[in-house]
Structure 1
Amino acid sequence: MGKFRKMESLKSKCLAAAILLVAMAALTEAITPKVIQGVVEAERKMTLGGVPGNASKECVDAIDILFLPTSTQLKEYVFDAFGKPQAGILQGNLHWLGHYDECRSIKVPEYNIQYKYCATFFDVNFTAITKTKSPEVLLAWGVCVPKECTETDIQNYLYVFVEMLNLTKYIEPANDKSFVSCAYEDHIPYSAGFVGTITLFSAIFLLMLLGAAYDCYLRYHRKNSSKMVVYTNTSTNNSAQNGRAGEAPINDDTAETKDDDTPLILVQEPPKHAIWEQFLLSFALNRNLAKLLNTNPGADRTIGCLNGLRVISMAWVILGHTFFFPSQMGIIGNLPTAVGWYQTFGFQVVGNAFFSVDSFFFMSGLLLTYITLKKMAKTSGKIPWAWFYFHRYWRLTPAILITTLIWMYIKPWVGDGPLWRSFQNTDSCIKYWWTNILYINNFYPQSFMHECIGWVWYLANDMQFFIISPFILVPLYFLPWLGLSLIGVLLAGSFAVTGALVGINKLGANGIAIPGVEATGADFSSVIYGKPYCRIPPYLVGMILGYLMYKQGDRRIRLNPALVSLGWTVATVIGMSCVYGLLGAYKGDLTLAGSILYEMLSRFAWAVSLSWLVFACREGYGGWVDDILSWSFWLPLSRVTYSAYLLHPIIIYIFLGNVKNTQMASLWLQPTYFVGYFVMSYGAAVVMALFIEFPFANLEKLFVPARRG
């Protein structure tokens, strides 16, 4: 995002715009001698061997037909479909995509020729045009050519065309090897990866149906020959029944009472299933759907407010991506207007949506510490650490692999448009998919641009934190002072490393350009944003709170109302300072020292404010905040938040990739898109959870019979 925030005023680029207008003026009319001259000249040079990789004979012959005396109407349609300069060049509107559908509808039956649409990409060298240092801007130009012309043919034509117009100093291909992306024609070729993915998905779906059918059979059979036992419930004293806010009691729907009001539970003797039965029932759609929709929190370890916090944080992630992705993909035609939103107070909650990820880090550290220490208390500190790691890897990795398959082999089939093929970008996954399942993708490859499904950088960080957690958890249990000291050392180290990296690379907070400071060219996302040593503070703060909650046990902390009010006030001020603290920076009031301080402490401070929120809600001081966050409605949604995180970028990319012309950013339309993305993401997440998450969680019991670590 810093790339877009560094945009200088476009007023100084009027000359650049004028030159581009002159260069493309030939395309402002349906037919002009200049365009024809350029195409003919390009064809002549390639036919004579004027450029490397001459155009194919089929392409040359097809283009020749365009200039027959009888092809006047054909020329009108073809050049009408070409991309042309649009209004808003000074606003960065350099996506001249033309008319995709018109181009693809052009046919010449008598010659058996049909036209296809291709998007071409050029880097505009504003520095050479304005004689002042300026960032390069991508120009996308849609061209309409015969199907007989390959992408290499079109590249060669464009080389000559740009040379003929004497524009080689000002625009150049965005990629020397491939700067032309032609739309898919009739259909995408069936690849082995596509066939294999569909086969795998079909097999899993069949298992879901067979499992459900078998479960129904067992229920019917058990209903007619069930063996029941009766026992007295003497375990009614759980923390939820003691009134702990946010921890709901187990729902005993089968409870009956005797005359003395002693609860009796009718329990069906659990059947013993063979391995194949357990395997099949793990996929049973009806069973997993019942688990998903159950609003009973179940275990007393549940902290109710975390359910709402988890879903709201996910909504915040999607909101930020709703505004960021169109800019990142270069399809915004009024980019300076969108960038200007960052200078307004209200938009800071969108521009600083980065803290939503820190909320997840905080919750992860909190729950891990709280739950693990409680288990260690029951086993005298003994935890099977091998299963501890296996459990985490098993629960996360299958969904990542399925997401990668969807990105590589399913997504290309669900779109069409001028930019659709150029948005596929599956090469990175072919090369680097394995880095995701090893959870090292935040270190290799080096650049975010080369990562396979780059948004899983978060999972790499979280897994790396998880790997080192036993070295903190064990001291916290046996020698608390040592464990807390280790957390303090890690926090201090994170502050020091983050501050040093920002200072050495002269990076602005959140990638914002610092006025008067010449940046080193380091990428903020690769150096700071995705690195564990910069992102660990919220996780460590969560571990501290988890430890304190474990030590507190079921005891209720009594606080003076004035102290409660002070806690809420301080937490609110800290949280607001984190979210709105960069408002002045977007207006040009940012220093290197301020950037260092903000990057060092902001994530830590955000986690501190969340700590009070969770503590207050758990202890009964949350009021209406706890009522909202602990609402049972959030519980099913919170169970599929992981899948929603994995799938929502794909849904956004699919929508944007199907856009057939430049988008204009609008503060009124973007919220509408956000609601659509949110609903579709959670809808897809439900499918993913029933398809992968729940079945694989059930399968774990086949080789880990008792829950361990």
Structure 2
Amino acid sequence: MALSSLVFLLLVGGVVSGVPTVSQRCVTDTDTFLSDINRDEPKEYAVHMYDAFGKMGSNVKGGNANRPGLLQQCSSARGPSFSGQYCQVFLRQGTVQYFVGICVPDSCKEEDVQILVVYGRLQFNQMSLIPPLPSVLVNESTQEMIMTHCLSSAVDPDASDVTCLFVCCVMVALPLAATLFTAMIKWQRNREVSPAVEAARLNSGLNLYGSMKTNGSSSREMNNSISEGNTDSRPARLCLPQSCVNGYLQAFSLQNTSKGVLSTSPSIRGGGYSSLNGIRVLSLLWIICGHSAQFPVINTLDNYKNWKKTVESSPLYVLTISGPVFLAVDTFLLLGGLLSARSLLGSIDKAEDKLSPSLVAGYLFKRIKRIQPLHLFIMCLTIGLISVVQWGPYWFPFVDTMMDCKAYWWANLLLITNLLPVHEICIPWTWYLSLDFQCYATTPLLVYFYRLNRGVFTVVAGGLLLMTTVAGAVITAIMQLPVFQPSTMTSENYVLYYYVKPYTRYGPFLIGILTGIYLKTKKDQLLKQKWQAALGWFCCLSLMAALVGLPYVLRETPDYPSAPHALYQGLHRPLWALAVTWIILACEEGYGGFINDLLSLSFWVPLSNISFACYLSHPVFIILYIGLQETPIHYTDLNFMYLFLGHLVLTLVVSYVLTVLVEKPYLLLKWSST
């Protein structure tokens, strides 16, 4: 079948007025492909390329408008002088936006593909390979080109990709090397002690036995010291400097970093408050569940409209994919404020009740050392994975993330990512670390006012709480922001101006600071009678239920400044923090009942120990899963439950490894100088 006249003119290099031409090699290879597919017996490679084109599926009305095609089949096709190249053409038809996967010769650049689609429509058999959605399904029949993406079959990492992968390898190699050296030192010293022990067994003299008993005791102490990472107790035959190198061995060796991670004894990170472990882990599970459901929804569901309708109509979904799921982030901010205040007050007590600049600097440096090594490792790992993994049709959002990292990696280093426009954030989920550190840096100032004058402290704390509440309400009213997910997923302004900013999210952290100061300095119990505890629990649970349920009443995005939306947005996060604060206080003062028993289970302790690694690593697994999909995901409750459980298991296993290899070594460096 002959090509249409317009396509033929384009392919042979003819120029239509105002229409750019396609490159000569793309013209030749495309002509070959179209000729081979139009033969009486089409060539096999051409059939595979054509078969890899995306075709319209069922349930377009339910949200299945994308036509991904078959990326791997396209890439594996081999023509006479070219290979298949998978490209995505993003189109708009009325109010519907969708993409279509097409397979073209790899000699065609994105600009060539766009020209062929816009002006030539790649027609054969008088039918376009990218036909518009039928008018019976979409009111508008005219297609509008948005952009074109092509995925090269050959992965060619640049210098920044190689650097990131190298950094990851070095950060993992250091603790492995330290582990090997520590094991060699222990083995060497065991060999030195063994002959003396054998001689003691053969000698029956009391004095000699007693002497050897002392030596044996010394050897046991030395072995115990080595097993605990204290390899600087005695010179070794290996040529290692005893001061610095032994300290690093202690900090980086797995013999030391793995200790206590899986222990069920109370965690130091809980600050002595046993209920915090359960609160932290349950909040983390809520976030992982929400991300497992949220990430696929953005681009990869074939029934998005059905999902949206289901979520908006049933309050049962509040525990997974509704807006309130991110109240768990406010719980983390509350815990961060509580523990930061308690830690700083404890440091002041050890420094003879002095809040000096050096103490504040050490306090902030300790926090940086706590979060940055694993944070930067995850950033480098994600950049490396995006550059080397052969992605599927849904890879394009992650490529944008990689490009953001190459331009704005310094914001992650300085912990200011949440101050950038949302589309410039490298590794989007790390915005929380920047927010947390910015809030953390305010703790010394508030503690200073608390120690200076209680009246001044009350005015400052009250003013800050009022300002952050008013900021959230005013921004919501002026920008007409939604308060409910999935509505918030389609509102860029919600994230850009409200969700990640310190001036709208500071309230829970401030309440945490106040709670930490109270718990550290209190001299008497707040609750003295059971009726007080009963009333407190009733108000707490009622408030939490209201905060979770109200978004269903306010689920519509307002078309005008809405007072109910503004009030809810400004108040719901501080109120949630107050409710969680009550749970902590009631559990600490003996009025927690079965809730305290649940939150204080030893089961939560090891999970709490790896919770930071879990938060940073779990989106990587979700991104890998989505990015490698060749077909859209179909939403059902069962499918999403299995997605959540699968991501959770992988996250727990890898997070333990990351905790002992990357996170704990840098935390333990503080002991290397002692």
- Counterpart check, 1:355 vs 2:309: no
Task: Name the amino acid aligned to 1:693.
Answer: E
Paired with 1:269 and 1:286, the residues of 2 have a C-alpha distance of 11
Match of 1:143 in 2: 102
Residue correspondence of structure 1 range 148-297 to structure 2 within 5 A: 148-161=107-120, 170-175=142-147, 179-182=148-151, 184-185=152-153, 187-220=154-187, 224=193, 271=233, 273-297=242-266
Q: 1:625 to 1:589 in 2, by over 3 A?
A: farther
Question: In structure 1, how many angstroms separate the alpha carbons of the residues matched to 2:267 and 2:189?
Answer: 25
Specify whether residues 600 and 42 from structure 1 end up closer, same or farther in structure 2 by C-alpha distance, changes over 3 A only.
farther
Q: Assess, with a 3 A threshold, how the Cα gap between structure 1 residues 672 and 196 changes in structure 2: closer, same or farther.
A: same
- For 1:646 and 1:593, locate their aligned partners in 2 and report how far apart those are by CA, in whole Å: 36
The aligned amino acid for 2:73 is E
Check whether the contact 1:97–1:140 (CA below 8 A) recurs between aligned residues. Answer: yes
Separation in structure 2 between the aligned mates of residue 424 and residue 489 of structure 1, nearest angstrom: 43
* Equivalent residue number for residue 432 of structure 1: 408
Query: AA paired with 1:139?
Result: Y
Q: 2:572 aligns with which of 602, 613, 616?
A: 602
Give the Cα–Cα distance (whole angstroms) in 1 for the partners of residues 81 and 558 of structure 2: 63
1:118 aligns with: 87
Match of 2:53 among 82, 87, 107: 82
Q: TM-score, normalised by structure 2?
A: 0.83
* AA at the equivalent of 1:680: L
- The one-character-per-residue Cα deviations of 1:453-480 (angstroms, maximum 9, x if unpaired) are 1212211111111122211011223433
Aligned to 2:468: 494
Q: State the 1:296 CA deviation.
A: 2.5
The number of residue pairs the alignment matches comes to: 609
Identify unmatched segments of 5+ residues in structure 1: 1-32, 127-135, 231-253, 255-267, 515-519
1:27 matched to which residue of 2? none
Q: Which amino acid aligns with 2:354?
A: G
The alignment partner of 2:259 has SS state of helix
Displacement after TM superposition at 1:667 (Å): 1.6
- 1:345 deviation in Å? 1.3
CA contact (8 A) 2:370 2:666 kept: yes
Deviations 1:477-531 (A, max 9, x none): 34333323321110111122222211222223247879xxxxx987111111111
1:260 alignment partner in structure 2:
none
Equivalent of 1:405 in 368, 376, 380:
380
What residue number does 2:477 align with? Answer: 503
CA–CA distance in 1 between the matches of 2:336 and 2:378?
22
Aligned counterpart, 1:381: 354
Q: Is the 8 A contact 1:292 1:639 kept in 2?
A: yes
Aligned pairs for 1:615-630 (under 5 A) are 615-630=585-600
Answering whether residue 411 of structure 2 is matched by residue 473 of structure 1, we say no
Tell me whether 81-90 or 60-69 shows the greater mean CA deviation.
60-69
Query: Match for residue 200 of structure 2?
Result: none
Contact 1:505 1:522 in 2 (8 A): no
How far did 1:227 drift?
Answer: 6.4
Distance 1:60 1:306, change over 3 A: same
Percent of aligned pairs sharing the same letter? 24
Change (3 A) 1:334 1:463: same
Query: Distance between the aligned counterparts of 1:549 and 1:452, measured in 2?
Result: 37
Task: Report the alpha carbon displacement of residue 423 of structure 1 after superposing the two structures with TM.
Answer: 3.1
| 1:441 equivalent among 417, 421, 425 | 417
1:331 maps to amino acid: T
Distance 1:586 1:498, change over 3 A: closer
Q: Is residue 2:364 matched to residue 1:394?
A: no
Q: Which of 482, 498, 501 is 1:528 aligned to? A: 498
Aligned CA distance change for structure 1 residues 113 and 586 (closer, same or farther; 3 Å)? same
Note if contact 2:540-2:579 (Cα within 8 Å) is conserved in structure 1: yes
Letter in 1 for 2:436: D
- The 3 A distance-change label for structure 1 pair 543 and 422 is closer
Q: Does 1:101 align with 2:72?
A: yes
Deviations 1:44-77 (A, max 9, x none): 4754366665323322222222315365254544
Q: Secondary structure at the match of 1:118?
A: strand
Q: What amino acid maps onto 1:84 in structure 2?
A: K
Point out the more displaced range, 664-673 or 195-204.
195-204
Q: 1:463 aligns with which of 410, 418, 437?
A: 437
Distance 2:9 2:595 in 1: 68
User: Which whole-Å CA distance do the structure 2 matches of 1:626 and 1:702 have between them?
Assistant: 37
Tell me the secondary structure at the aligned position of residue 142 of structure 1. strand
Indicate the residue corresponding to 2:137 in structure 1: none
Gaps of 5+ in 2: 133-139, 194-214, 225-229, 235-241
Q: Aligned partners of 1:115 and 1:39: how far apart in 2?
A: 23
Which residue of structure 2 aligns with residue 560 of structure 1? Answer: 529
Structure 1 residues 206-238: Cα deviation after superposition (integer angstroms, max 9, x where no partner): 3323322333344456664676699xxxxxxxx
SS at structure 2 position matched to 1:120: strand
Q: Which of 429, 440, 456 is matched with 1:482 structurally?
A: 456
Change in CA separation of 1:407 and 1:229 when aligned onto 2, cut-off 3 Å: closer
Distance 2:292 2:491 in 1: 27
Given the alignment of the two structures, is residue 91 of structure 1 paired with residue 45 of structure 2, yes or no? Answer: no
Match of 1:264 in 2: none
**Equivalents in 2 of 1:324, 1:138: separation in Å?**
19
Alignment partner, residue 6 of structure 1: none
- Inter-CA distance 665–633: structure 2 relative to 1 (3 Å threshold): same
Cα distance in 2 for residues equivalent to 1:95 and 1:522? 22
Greater share of helix: 2
What secondary structure sits across from 1:481 in the alignment? helix
Is the 1:207–1:280 Cα contact (8 Å) retained in structure 2?
Answer: no
Confirm or deny: 8 A CA contact 1:308 1:634 kept in the other structure. Answer: yes
The amino acid of 1:156's aligned partner reads: I
From 656, 664, 670, give the equivalent of 2:640: 670
Aligned letter for 1:619? E
Q: Deviations over 1:258-307 (max 9, x none)?
A: xxxxxxxxxx9983751111113321122211232233336594211111
Q: Is the 8 A contact 2:480 2:557 kept in 1?
A: no
TM value normalised by structure 1: 0.79
Which 10-residue stretch deviates more, 658-667 or 77-86? 77-86
State the alpha-carbon separation in 1 of the partners of residues 587 and 411 from structure 2.
39
Mapped partners of 1:38, 1:342: distance in 2: 50
Give the secondary structure class of the aligned counterpart of 2:601.
coil
- 1-side partners of 2:451 and 2:76: how far apart? 71
Q: Does 1:339 align with 2:316?
A: no
